[in-house]
């Protein structure tokens, strides 16, 4: 062990190896997805992504054009062309499906009746015979294509009709759906952590209890509620509220153009839904973090004359950045990747179709194309990644260093 | 900078009485130390003065104004916490300026106050550092600086030195003493469980025990004339020896026969009616001297010795029910182990307690 690991215990090596193994295990699927996203549909259908760096060999058949394409060279009739359309090289060819790799490139195959076929490595073939040719001769060949990567899938996904719009729609959903719950939860968490009032622990217990309520269960009741609100506000058609809502973009003109009601399928609705679904966890996380702040710091601020609100804004909030950032990352990920809530609470129109919905449509209309799926997955990952790296510097430990011993 | 008066102050959490019957009159310029064993309520009492704990009953007045219901910031107090409680995301300057900013003082005023406090505490070079870039002693000074800038009527210190290592503790203790020297008019209340801090810093010590005040007095008062057995044993290290006995002779000087043998004469005056009274005789380890005379306080076999160089501690083997007797002899004494030794003490330094109370106070 001395030679290899110095004085390190063998366990350290086991640990390092396990960590390495886990890292590989975790990143392998992502790497595969990424490589797949850079390959063409053909490459994907022929071989797995792990062969992407080696040349791919594939067997194929092509047919020469019919006799009308022939030319006369000397005393022979010739049909010439190229079997390869996308580059690469031919490593073998043959004249029948029984022996598709009978000949090496450059060799001349005798097809009988003086007709010969030769295929060169670059794919060019020449079919020649002493008499007029019928054409339509099948050529079996094995082509080797060098590794090739393409950004075409990305171009395809990005240039898809309405993708930019869907991207913006997703941001329109995700950003407020992240900010609103944090704003509410920070206040709530501070109160639950540091402001004694009757029934506080019961309230905390209820909020923790809300964590187990499955989102799916509440979708229908909430949508019903939204619809009812829509109807109720529609009755109030000519009131000031209705007009305001109309001009603020929240309202909706009904069919006859006179009634104005609250649109049950609007961004406001999806923000509120995401806020509601995110709040229990947000309050729980933030409260637990805030309650762990040293009591003395808060008491010290109180002795210094700070009000509860000042303690919250000047002391607790800045010190809670790590918790705020972690929750922001979580919530943004969920709302960004969410399809269910958006499908339920947003209409399927262009102006409110989110990116997940758009990608689903894209896949649907192409019958589950892998290259589209892979590329769109990466496009959709990119934003949460950006958010993560932007907030990552707040996820520091030791923010409290130096405050208390 | 004012008087602080507690009248029948009590604290209870529901049914549990933590403190009761606290009467204390603190004069301007005094440095009062609350001392007591852990759990005696000394920190609670301080937090009640600060306004961080409510007062269950009684009145607390600062500068003639009852402040029971006044929020901490308006009581004219400033508190230094045991754990410093610095705001970790603020520089030293902002930490010290925080209270003044909250109070909406002008920028000039804030700067002047902060610079002044930094100068007093020698923190000027560190004003723009974050607390995490400071040593423990510097952090504690920032905490004190935060109190100074507010120019409070009463400074409250909650075990400010207990987080520091031994050497730093001594240095910071002296700094606090100097600080007090420089601000003779400011009133300070200082909580500690360390009797050395109490003895060295206090103008008066308040010994708290069992939910009430055991004794209030100057450090030497408490040392020389403890009112009860608790104070007698709490002040001084090692604790005072208590030996049971019976008064055999009364008058301006009293003679007590000890139940473990020995006869002792003390300067505590007694009445004729005290004859036959069961008492505890108290003698500090440092007051015990070896003797050859017949009239001795204690005779026993030395069990364990601790040689500290400066003094030697002798732990005598236990005799029956009585507590272990400890003697502290100046200098180095080798080879005393397992020897039988006779000890006596100056009659002026012998205390008498009956039912836990000193016979000096009755």
Question: Which long-range contacts link B331-339 to residues 24+ away (Cβ below 8 Å)?
Answer: B332/B307, B333/B305, B333/B307, B334/B307, B336/B302, B336/B305, B336/B312, B337/B302, B337/B303, B337/B304, B337/B305, B338/B301, B338/B302, B339/B301, B339/B302
- Ramachandran sector of residue A199 (left: φ over 0; alpha: ψ -120 to 50; beta: rest): left
Q: What is the ipTM of this complex?
A: 0.85
A63 with A46, same domain: the answer is no
Do residues B154 and B76 touch, judged by C-beta distance below 8 A? yes
Q: Are residues A314 and A170 in the same domain?
A: yes
Note whether residue A263 is domain-resident: yes
Do B263 and B337 have their domain in common?
Answer: yes
Work out how many domains chain B is built from and give that number.
Answer: 2
Q: Is A21 on the interface with B (CB under 8 A)?
A: no
Identify whether residues A90 and A28 lie together within a single domain.
no
The C-alpha torsion from B123 through B129 and B135 to B141, rounded to 10°, is 40
| Residues of chain B with C-beta less than 8 angstroms from the C-beta of A398 | 132
Cross-chain Cβ contact A319/B86 below 8 Å: no
Shared domain for B52 and B13, answered yes or no, is: yes
* Distance to chain B for A316, nearest Cα, Å: 10
Whether A338 is in a domain gets the answer yes
Torsion of CA B291, B305, B300, B244, to 10 degrees: 100
- Give B176 to chain A, closest Cα distance, Å: 19
The residue of chain B nearest to residue A298, with distances taken between CA atoms, is B85
> Same domain for A134 and A242?
no
| Mutation for A interface: B62, B81, B101, B163, most A CBs within 10 A | B81
A299, A302, A403 ranked by CB distance to B131: nearest: A403
Radius of gyration for the alpha carbons in chain A, expressed in angstroms and rounded: 33
Residues B130 and B204 grouped into a single domain: yes
Q: What is the CATH number of the domain that holds B312?
A: 2.40.50.140
List CB contacts (< 8 A) between B82 and chain A.
296
Residues 48-107 of B with CB under 8 A from A: 50-52, 71-74, 77-79, 81-89, 98-99, 102-103
Note whether residue A404 is domain-resident. Answer: no
Whole-number Å distance between alpha carbons of B18 and B13: 7
- Summarize the confidence of residues B101-110 as an average pLDDT: 93
A358, part of any domain: yes
**Pairing outcome for strands B326-330 and B278-283:** unpaired
Same domain, B278 and B149: no
Of B211, B234, B257, which residue sits at a domain end? Answer: B234
* % of chain A at pLDDT higher than 90: 27
Pairwise CA distance, residues B352 & B226, whole Å: 10
Q: Are residues A160 and A253 in the same domain?
A: yes
Question: Looking at chain B, which residue has its C-alpha nearest residue A296?
Answer: B85
pLDDT of residue A405: 56
Question: Last residue of some domain: B179, B202, B234?
Answer: B234
Is residue B72 domain-shared with residue B32, that is, in the same domain?
Answer: yes
Q: Which of B54, B67, B87 to mutate to test binding with chain A, by most A CBs within 10 Å of its CB?
A: B87
C-alpha dist (Å) from residue B210 to A54, A290, B50, B226:
84, 35, 22, 16
Domain identity same for B249 and B118? no
Q: Same structural domain for residues A83 and A14?
A: no
> How close does chain A come to B147, measured CA to CA in Å?
9
What pLDDT is attached to residue A260? 47
Residue of B nearest to A404 (CA): B83
Q: A293 φ, ψ to 5°? A: -65, 145
Query: Are B83 and B135 part of one and the same domain?
Result: yes
CATH code at A216? 1.10.3720.10
Question: Within this chain, do residues A101 and A186 fall inside the same structural domain, yes or no?
Answer: no
Buried-state track A165-185, b at ≥16 Cβ within 10 A, e below 16: ebbebbebbbebbbebbbebb
Same domain, B214 and B245: no
- Which has more pLDDT, B108 or B319? B108
- Mutation target among A297, A300, A316 for the B interface, most CBs of B within 10 A: A300
Distance from CA of A274 to the nearest CA of B (A): 32
Instruction: Return the number of CB contacts < 8 Å for A and B.
Output: 86
CA A213/CA A102 separation, integer angstroms: 67
A405 located within any domain: no
| Cβ within 8 Å of B, A 286-315 | 294, 296-297, 299-306, 310, 314-315
Please tell me whether residues B250 and B224 are part of one structural domain.
no
pLDDT of residue B353: 93
The continuous run of DSSP H or E covering B188 comes out as strand B187-192
Q: Are residues A39 and A65 in the same domain?
A: no
pLDDT, tens only, B173-201: 998 899 899 888 889 999 998 888 999 99
H/E segment holding residue A154: helix A152-159
Strand partners, A344: none
Q: B228's torsion region: left (phi>0), alpha (psi -120 to 50) or beta?
A: beta
What gap in Å lies between CA B206 and CA B42, rounded to an integer?
9
Query: Which stretches of chain A drop beneath a pLDDT of 50?
Result: 1-3, 5, 237, 251-260
In a shared domain, residues B55 and B193: yes
Starting at the earlier edge strand, list the strands of the sheet with A89-94: A56-63, A138-145, A89-94
How do residues A183-232 score in pLDDT, each as one tens digit? 999 999 999 999 989 999 999 999 999 999 888 888 888 888 888 887 77
Q: Does residue A361 form part of some domain?
A: yes
CB contact under 8 A, A300 and B52: no
Pair (A301, A181) in one structural domain = yes
Contact flag A305-B52 (C-beta cutoff 8 Å): no
A390 vs A337: CA distance, rounded Å: 18
Give the other-Cβ count within 10 Å of A145's Cβ: 17
Do A140 and A171 fall within a single domain?
no
Claim to verify: residue A347 and residue A237 sit in the same structural domain: yes
Closest-CA residue in chain A for B148? A304
| Domain hosting residue A137, numbered range | 56-145
pLDDT given for residue A255 in this prediction: 44
Give the gap in angstroms from C-alpha B87 to the nearest C-alpha of chain A. Answer: 6
C-alpha angle B239-B240-B243 in degrees, rounded to nearest 5: 130
Supply the range of the domain harboring residue B335: 241-358
Question: A105 lies in a domain?
Answer: yes
Q: Do B72 and A318 touch (CB under 8 A)?
A: no
Work out how many domains chain A is built from and give that number: 3
A294: chain B residues, CB-CB within 8 Å: 83, 85
Contact B352, B340 (CB under 8 A): no
Measured between beta carbons, which residues in chain A are less than 8 angstroms from residue B140?
A: none
Q: Alpha-carbon torsion A87, A90, A94, A97, what sign?
A: negative
* Chain B contact present for A402, CB below 8 A: yes
Q: Which residue of A has its CA nearest to B77?
A: A303
Contact call for B98 and A303, based on CB within 8 A: no
Quote the minimal CA–CA distance from B132 to chain A in Å.
4
| CA distance linking residue B195 with residue B360, whole number of Å | 23
pLDDT confidence of residue B207: 94
The pLDDT, as a whole number, for residue A114 is: 80
Position A399 scores a pLDDT of 62
Q: Is B290 found in the same domain as B178?
A: no
Q: Are residues A254 and A176 in the same domain?
A: yes
At B57-80, the pLDDT tens digits run 999 999 889 999 999 989 989 999
pLDDT tens digit string along B127-151? 999 999 998 889 999 999 999 999 8
> Residue A403: inside a domain, yes or no?
no
Specify the pLDDT at position B200.
92
Last residue of a domain, one of B175, B210, B234: B234
Contact status of B130 with chain A (Cβ, < 8 Å): yes
| Cβ-contact B169, B136 below 8 angstroms | no
Query: Quick one: pLDDT at residue A261?
Result: 56
Q: What's the pLDDT at A301?
A: 93
Same domain flag for B204 and B272:
no
Residue B259 pLDDT level (bands cut at 50, 70, 90): confident
For residue A310, give the chain B residue with the closest CA.
Answer: B102
Q: Which helix (H) or strand (E) holds B59?
A: strand B57-62
Q: Which of B245, B307, B248, B303 is nearest to B272 (CA)?
A: B248
Whether residue A296 and residue B82 make contact (CB cut-off 8 A), yes or no, is yes
> Rounded to an integer, what distance in angstroms lies between the CA atom of residue A233 and that of residue A264?
10
Question: Which chain A residues contact residue B89 at CB under 8 A?
Answer: 318-319, 399
Which residue of A300, A314, A401 is in closest CB contact with B79?
A300
Residues A353, A166 contacting (CB under 8 angstroms): yes
């Amino acid at each position: 062990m001395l030679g290899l690991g110095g004085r390190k215990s063998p366990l350290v090596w086991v640990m390092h190896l396990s960590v390495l193994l886990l890292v590989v295990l975790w990143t392998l699927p992502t790497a595969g997805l990424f490589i797949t996203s850079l390959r063409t549909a053909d490459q994907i259908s022929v071989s797995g992504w792990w062969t992407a760096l080696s040349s791919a060999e594939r067997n194929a058949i092509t047919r020469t054009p019919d006799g009308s394409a022939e030319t006369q060279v000397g005393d022979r009739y010739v049909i010439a062309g190229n079997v390869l359309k996308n580059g690469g090289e031919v490593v073998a060819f043959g004249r029948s499906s029984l022996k598709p790799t009978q000949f090496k490139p450059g060799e001349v195959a005798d097809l009988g009746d003086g007709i010969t076929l030769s295929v060169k490595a670059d794919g060019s073939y020449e079919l020649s015979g002493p008499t007029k040719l019928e054409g339509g001769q099948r050529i079996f060949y094995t082509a080797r294509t060098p590794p090739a990567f393409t950004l075409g899938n990305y171009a395809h996904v990005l240039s898809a009709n309405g993708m930019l719009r869907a991207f913006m729609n997703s941001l329109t959903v995700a950003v407020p759906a992240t900010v609103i719950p944090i704003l509410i939860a920070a206040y709530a968490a501070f109160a639950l952590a540091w402001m004694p009032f009757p029934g506080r622990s019961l309230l905390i217990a209820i909020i923790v209890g809300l964590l187990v309520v499955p989102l799916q269960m509440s979708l229908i009741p909430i949508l019903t509620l939204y619809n009812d609100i829509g109807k109720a506000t529609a009755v109030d058609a000519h009131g000031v509220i209705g007009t305001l809502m109309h001009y603020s973009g929240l309202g909706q003109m009904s069919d006859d153009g006179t009634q104005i009601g609250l649109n049950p399928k609007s961004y406001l609705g999806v923000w509120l839904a995401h806020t509601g679904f995110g709040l229990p966890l947000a309050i729980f996380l933030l409260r637990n973090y805030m309650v762990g702040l040293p009591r003395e710091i808060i008491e010290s601020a109180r002795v210094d004359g700070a009000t509860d609100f000042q303690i919250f804004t000047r002391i607790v909030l800045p010190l809670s950045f790590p918790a705020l950032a972690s929750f922001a990352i979580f919530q943004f990920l969920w709302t960004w990747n969410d399809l269910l809530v958006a499908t339920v609470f947003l209409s399927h129109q262009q102006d409110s179709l989110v990116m997940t919905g758009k990608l689903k449509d894209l896949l649907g209309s192409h019958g589950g194309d892998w290259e589209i799926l892979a590329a769109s997955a990466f496009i959709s990952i990119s934003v949460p990644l950006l958010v993560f790296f932007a907030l990552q510097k707040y996820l520091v430990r030791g923010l409290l260093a130096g405050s208390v011993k | 900078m004012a008087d602080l008066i507690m009248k029948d102050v009590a604290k209870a959490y529901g049914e549990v009485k933590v403190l009761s019957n606290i009467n204390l009159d603190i004069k301007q310029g005094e440095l009062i130390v609350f001392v007591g064993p852990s759990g005696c309520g000394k920190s609670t009492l301080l937090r009640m003065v600060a306004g961080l704990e409510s007062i269950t009953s009684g009145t607390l007045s600062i500068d003639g104004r009852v402040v029971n219901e006044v929020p901490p910031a308006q009581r004219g107090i400033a508190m230094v916490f045991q754990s410093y409680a610095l705001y970790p995301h603020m520089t030293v300057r902002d930490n010290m300026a925080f209270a003044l900013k909250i109070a909406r003082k002008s920028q000039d005023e804030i700067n002047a106050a902060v610079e002044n406090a930094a100068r007093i505490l020698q923190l000027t070079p560190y004003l723009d550092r974050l607390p995490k870039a400071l040593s423990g002693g510097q952090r504690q000074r920032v905490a004190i600086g935060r109190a100074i800038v507010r120019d409070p009527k009463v400074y409250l210190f909650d075990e400010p030195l207990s987080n520091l290592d031994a050497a730093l503790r001594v240095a910071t203790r002296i700094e606090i003493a100097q600080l007090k020297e420089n601000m003779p008019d400011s009133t300070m209340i200082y909580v500690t469980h360390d009797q050395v801090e109490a003895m060295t810093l206090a103008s008066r010590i308040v010994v708290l025990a069992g939910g009430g005040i055991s004794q209030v007095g100057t450090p030497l008062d408490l040392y020389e004339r403890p009112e009860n057995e608790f104070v007698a044993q709490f002040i001084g290290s090692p604790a005072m020896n208590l030996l049971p006995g019976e008064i055999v002779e009364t008058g301006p000087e009293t003679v007590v026969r000890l139940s473990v043998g020995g006869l002792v004469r003390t300067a505590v005056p007694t009445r004729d009616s005290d004859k036959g009274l069961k008492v505890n005789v108290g003698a500090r380890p440092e007051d015990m001297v070896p003797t050859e005379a017949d009239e001795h306080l204690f005779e026993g076999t030395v069990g364990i010795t601790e040689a500290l160089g400066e003094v030697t501690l002798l732990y005598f083997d236990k005799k029956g029910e009585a507590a272990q007797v400890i003697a502290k002899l100046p200098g180095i004494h080798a080879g005393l182990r397992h020897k039988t030794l006779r000890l006596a003490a100056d009659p002026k330094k012998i205390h008498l307690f009956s039912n836990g109370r000193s016979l000096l106070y009755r």
